[in-house]
Structure 1
Amino acid sequence: MVERIVAAGRSVLVERGYDAFSTNRVATVAGVSPGSLYQYFPDKTAILDVVIDRYWDEVAERVAASLADRIAEFGPAMVRATADALLTALEADRELLRVVAEELPVQRSRERRAALERRVRELIATYLAARPDVTHRPHPAVAAWVVVLAIENLSMRWVLDQPDVVTREQLLDEVLALVGGYLLG
């Protein structure tokens, strides 16, 4: 029942948007009565929290797995593969990303997004600290923060905007040049 309600919550959020998200709509899509829904979730915020938590957890898992798989091969291949994994994760649910990034009040998603950033940033900072030969940046944690935010923001805007002038491969090439120039320049 919980899974049905969460799936319905995601569906309502994507199809109707944040402003039209309600427990009555979620109950209707889930095929349950509002009273039954309230046995599992006290209000619409609780459903929304689960939907958003799961979304960011999925994105984080994909990116962290890609980064962890390639941590031994630091360099252009790792940077490109990690940026590609982020694009793939964001593209997997573009509609939900749009709602999360553009419709939800900032505070609804801030903590979850920060957790994703922190997780990836810590992996990169640890690697940079252990391998001072791969960068000229004096502070690994600062360099990791800059790299993570640059890649995240470029990737989110590309997925949401779908600009005609930038293909996926061109974006990955530019991210690689940006990160390479920053870390090695």
Structure 2
Amino acid sequence: MRKVPQQARSRAMVERIVEAARIVLVRDGYESFTTNRVADEAEVSPGSLYQYFPDKSALVTVVMDRWSAEISDRVAASLAASGPVDVKDPGTVRAIADALLTAIEADAGLLRIVWEELPAVRHRAAQHALEQRVRELLAVYLAAAGATSVDPAARAWVIVMAVENVAVRWVLDQPPISREALLDEFSALAGGLGARSR
């Protein structure tokens, strides 16, 4: 079990260790990620690291939890800035897709580790937690739009799963498709969803 720091100095050390863990994870990959490399990067002794993180798994868990929260926060901020939600407007899905795309592009290196290197159990848990946060957020926005003919939870699931999976592959694979073309395709998808709800 991870020790929770109480003093400001200890909290600062933990922050330094977590940031170093993120750097090492992206730079070296999951297989080469070790607590000793993290301690070196953070410029702390392995003993100091072990006071707060008992093993590699505990460090990776904290990095993944923070990364998921950062993406959720970025999506929430983008949605709030985009104004009122209209489920029949393809521009709404474009804004949602743009928010998700911007959020996952912000740390493509860590995204690659999560999707391609983490053990399946850890990857699936992190992916599902993130999807659930974004779906819940989007469902609230859709419900606020007041469209009675649309089930906000179902619509949120479809939009998030479609956008997330395509956006992740676009960021990681870097196909010869421009960002604008990708967002146009998401808008076209939204047009199909909107037509169904009329």
Opposite residue 82 of structure 1, the aligned amino acid is: I
Say whether 1:12 aligns with 2:39.
no
What secondary structure, in the 3-state scheme, does the structure 1 residue paired with 2:175 have? coil
Say whether 1:64 aligns with 2:89.
no
| Unmatched tracts of structure 1, length 5 or more | none
CA distance in 2, matches of 1:7, 1:132: 43
CA distance in 2, matches of 1:129, 1:7: 37
Equivalent residues of 2:90, 2:194 under 8 A apart = no
Q: Let me know the Cα RMSD of the aligned residues.
A: 1.9
CA distance in 2, matches of 1:50, 1:112: 11
Say whether 1:93 aligns with 2:103.
no
Say whether 1:2 aligns with 2:20.
no
Corresponding pairs, count: 181
- What's the counterpart of residue 42 of structure 2? 30
Would the alpha carbon gap of residues 181 and 16 (structure 1) be closer, same or farther in structure 2, given more than 3 Å must change?
A: same
Would the alpha carbon gap of residues 3 and 19 (structure 1) be closer, same or farther in structure 2, given more than 3 Å must change?
A: same
Cα deviation 1:139-172 (Å, max 9, x = unaligned): 43222211110000011000001101x1000000
Would the alpha carbon gap of residues 169 and 49 (structure 1) be closer, same or farther in structure 2, given more than 3 Å must change?
A: same
Equivalent residues of 1:52, 1:109 under 8 A apart = no
- What's the counterpart of residue 52 of structure 1? 64
- What's the counterpart of residue 167 of structure 1? 178
Matches within 5 A, 1:114-153: 114-129=128-143, 131-132=146-147, 139-153=151-165
Equivalent residues of 2:75, 2:100 under 8 A apart = yes
Say whether 1:42 aligns with 2:46.
no
Give the drift of 1:3.
1.2
Equivalent residues of 2:74, 2:99 under 8 A apart = yes
Opposite residue 167 of structure 1, the aligned amino acid is: S
Opposite residue 147 of structure 2, the aligned amino acid is: P
CA distance in 1, matches of 2:34, 2:63: 13
> Between the two proteins, what is the percent identity of the paired residues?
60
TM, length-normalised to structure 1: 0.88
| Unmatched tracts of structure 2, length 5 or more | 1-12
